[in-house]
Amino acid sequence: MARATLKQVAAEAGVSHQTVSAVLNNHPNVKASTREHVMAVMERMNYQPNHAARALRSSRSNHIGYVLYGPATAAFADPYMSIVMSSVIDTIRLHGYEVVPYFLSSDKDPELRSFRALFDQGRLDGAILMASNFPDKVLEQLHGWDYPMVAMDRFMPELPFPAVWARHREGFQDAVKHLARQRRTNIAFVGGQPLSPACTHDSAAERFEGYKLGLQQAGLPYQEELVVHADWTFDGGRNAFQQLLQSGHPVDAVMAANDRMAVGVIREALEAGRSIPDDLAVVGFDDFEFSRYIQPELTTVHFPVEQMAVKATELLMGLIDKKAVLKKFAVPVHLVVRQSG
């Protein structure tokens, strides 16, 4: 069966082909009732827009790159990366674009040239960089290309790169205040290893800074022996709490730099006979869905992944359309108090 054309849809719907085109392009001047009617006709006729033809007419590819740095296996093994990618893909598709995942595995020129070729050949209209572990010098090079790109989950005050990030630091400052109000005085920190030695202002550093600033604001001393850096995993959290126990220093609260390590801390603490939250409070960061399913339910800092994806996409669309847009946006976080602390 031949594919239905735009003019056939227009005839069936009793509207002009310009109206059908306006519906396809999400034009704001189309009445809601007309939009719903035309979309129902398109679905009934199984109409498929010719994206290639639209791209030729508009000189656009209708493709957005979603760029990660490092091996693909590491990204797909991390639930955080998977949730972020899913949110970005869903949001970009709402704008009528398809997403092209792309992995940069090094900062060498051949790799960067291959990535740039996608822009030079007109195969990408823009890109969102999952920049949390991008080396600084790579971001500096990409910024010099003058193509529409937005860095996501990276605070870069010294680089005029369009960016959207979360307020990691403030989240952990609030968590320390919350614990201090409970009269917790020996608050340990289980941090994640820096995401990249060539990367400054990453989320690992921001969360650690939030912990230290929170202690200072609460009038509590920073105790280096209560700081352990692990590998962001469940087992990393377990091993970190073992180290804290073996140190012999009293601990009445643990803040972990992500939920996976926080759950590992809880498991190890319970097996060691600690009562949560009576004599040990545990706080995580991310607010993944599983944080509500464990026992006790995890107190954690909510990281608004969906909001960050929406803001990054809005910023990128403004750059592509050459509209005046805010170049940097910080997404707020908030503490979610549950049973663990």
* Residue of 312, 309, 334, 338 whose CA lies nearest to 167: 334
CATH code, domain with 309: 3.40.50.2300
The domain containing residue 81 runs over which residues? 63-166+305-332
Whether 151 and 135 map to the same domain: the answer is yes
For residue 42, the domain's CATH number is: 1.10.260.40
Q: What is residue 191's three-state secondary structure?
A: strand
Examine the domain organization and report whether 161 and 279 are in the same domain. Answer: no
Over residues 202-207, the mean pLDDT reads 83
Q: Does residue 112 form part of some domain? A: yes
User: Are residues 174 and 296 located together in one domain of the fold?
Assistant: yes
More confident residue, 305 or 254: 254
Is position 341 within any domain? no
* pLDDT score, position 27: 67
Residue 188 pairs in a beta bridge with 254
Q: Average pLDDT for residues 90-109, to the nearest whole number?
A: 83
The token duo for 9 is 């849809």
Task: Name the residue with tokens 């960050």.
Answer: 308
* Structure letter (DSSP) for residue 225: G
Overall domain count for the chain: 3
pLDDT digits (tens, 9 = 90+) for 56-89: 445 677 899 999 887 665 656 677 777 888 888 8
Residue 13 vs residues 30, 36, 39, 80, 245: alpha-carbon distances, Å = 14, 11, 9, 44, 71
Structure tokens at 257: 């730099």
Residues 162 and 173 in one domain: no
What is d(CA 186, CA 205) in angstroms, rounded to the nearest whole number?
Answer: 21
Does one domain contain both 35 and 148? Answer: no
Same domain, 175 and 284: yes
158 and 119 share a domain?
A: yes
- Assign 201 a pLDDT band (cuts: 50, 70, 90): low
Shortest CA distance to 93 belongs to which of 264, 317, 298?
317
Mean pLDDT of the chain: 85
Model pLDDT, residue 299: 97
Count, residues in the chain? 341
Q: Same domain, yes or no, for 27 and 111?
A: no
Query: Model-level pTM?
Result: 0.76
* Average pLDDT, integer, range 270-292: 93
Closest CA to 286 of 79, 1, 62, 34: 79
15, pLDDT greater than 80: yes
Residue 183 and residue 123 share a domain: no
Q: Which has more confidence, 192 or 24? A: 192
Q: Are residues 193 and 288 in the same domain?
A: yes
Asked, for residue 108, whether it belongs to a domain, the answer is: yes
Q: Do 223 and 291 reside in the same domain of the chain?
A: yes
Instruction: Confirm whether 339 is domain-assigned.
Output: no
Q: What is the per-residue pLDDT across 326-340, written as a single tens digit (0 to 9) for each?
A: 688 889 999 999 999
How far is it, in rounded angstroms, from Cα 63 to Cα 126? Answer: 7
Query: Residue 14: pLDDT above 80?
Result: yes
Residue 62: closest CA among 73, 52, 70:
52
Asked, for residue 187, whether it belongs to a domain, the answer is yes
